[in-house]
Amino acid sequence: MGLLGAIEAGGTKFVVAVADHDYNIVERTSFPTLDGEQTLKQVIAFFDQFENIDAIGIAAFGPIDIVKGSKTYGHVLDTPKRCWSGYDFLGAMKAWRDIPYYWTTDVNGAGWAEFETGAAKDVQNMVYLTVGTGVGAGIVSGGRFVSGYGHPEAGHIFLQKHPKDTYAGHCPFHGDNCLEGLAAGPAIEERWQMSAKELPDDHLAWEIEAFYLAQAALDYTMILRPEKIVFGGGVPHREILFPLIREQFAKLMSDYLAVPDLDDYIVPVANGDNAGILGCFYLAKTLI
């Protein structure tokens, strides 16, 4: 039996790895994200070391085209990331070696790891929301990813602003109207002139952040009725956030819908920073 490959293609860095079919990692490395061509050269150089790769899972920053049969399937779509818009990521990999590839978004990759072996392993319907450099969601319904005309962009839902928030917003498309523009890591840093890591627990920042993340959780609950909402990414590393989100969620819900106990419903990731790579391995194995 051969090996499984994983490509966690982030906007800041790429992580590549190979593992056996029991998910024991054989080798793993990472490097900064350059333009498409230069970055894929490094990806291919890594995998060139291994002749017996059965399948590779790719979880890429987006937006990407995941619709099979589309003219641009496998491409990165319009993105602020320089020299990536229109890049045929999947085509470059297939030209290197024609093996099965699972092509999906970075949040789907991490979300699938949480679904398989992480915080949502006991449910069939979940939302995984990552809050870091950007905000995105991997949504699983009935044990399958939610997608249609494209993948969800749940980080760009529109929100009500907190009454104490005067920040103009970080999103170049929606300003201070959308979740990513108000709650992503760069928005926190611009608003307060310090990073999320530097903010003390009693800072107003966390009340405002929890208000936005609770609104998001409420909207996903109303539309999708998941059994679990899992928060990942750098910002939710701050433990003070979870009781604040649950408190705001309960206030906003106002007893309208029944949901699981909030301590079990709105939860942090269980796989930590390994979720993306693990998810790629799990997805690769579904192709064999």
Q: How far is CA 52 from the centre of its chain?
A: 29
Q: Would the pLDDT of 95 be above 80?
A: yes
Q: What confidence tier does 18 reach under pLDDT thresholds 50, 70, 90? A: very high
User: DSSP state, 138?
Assistant: E
Residue 152 lies in a domain: yes
Residue 242 lies in a domain: yes
Residue 114 lies in a domain: no
On whether both 20 and 99 belong to a single domain, the answer is yes
Residue 113 lies in a domain: no
On whether both 249 and 123 belong to a single domain, the answer is yes
Task: Write the pLDDT tens digit of every residue in 194-232.
Answer: 999 999 999 999 999 999 999 999 999 999 999 999 999
Q: How far apart, in Å, are the Cα atoms of 157 and each of 173, 185, 186, 202?
A: 12, 17, 17, 27
On whether both 256 and 173 belong to a single domain, the answer is yes
On whether both 123 and 252 belong to a single domain, the answer is yes
- Give the count of domains, the chain: 2
Whole-angstrom distance, CA of residue 219 vs CA of residue 139: 13
Residue 30 lies in a domain: yes
Whole-angstrom distance, CA of residue 110 vs CA of residue 129: 9
Residue 69 lies in a domain: yes
Residue 161: which domain range? 119-269
Q: What is the pLDDT of residue 11?
A: 86
On whether both 45 and 184 belong to a single domain, the answer is no
Q: Would the pLDDT of 176 be above 90?
A: yes
Whole-angstrom distance, CA of residue 134 vs CA of residue 56: 25
On whether both 203 and 242 belong to a single domain, the answer is yes
Whole-angstrom distance, CA of residue 74 vs CA of residue 85: 12
Q: What is the pTM of this model?
A: 0.94
Residue 160 lies in a domain: yes
Residue 239 lies in a domain: yes
On whether both 235 and 178 belong to a single domain, the answer is yes
CATH value at residue 99 = 3.30.420.40
- Average pLDDT of the segment spanning 22-38: 97
On whether both 265 and 194 belong to a single domain, the answer is yes
On whether both 221 and 161 belong to a single domain, the answer is yes
On whether both 83 and 132 belong to a single domain, the answer is no
Q: How much is the mean pLDDT over the chain?
A: 96
On whether both 81 and 148 belong to a single domain, the answer is no
Please give the angle made by the CA atoms of 251, 256 and 258, to the nearest 5 degrees: 100
Query: Would you say 63 and 150 are in contact if contact means Cβ atoms under 8 Å apart?
Result: yes
Q: Would the pLDDT of 91 be above 80?
A: yes
Q: What confidence tier does 12 reach under pLDDT thresholds 50, 70, 90? A: confident
On whether both 123 and 224 belong to a single domain, the answer is yes
Specify the amino acid at residue 213: L
- Residue 59 phi/psi, 5° resolution? -120, 105
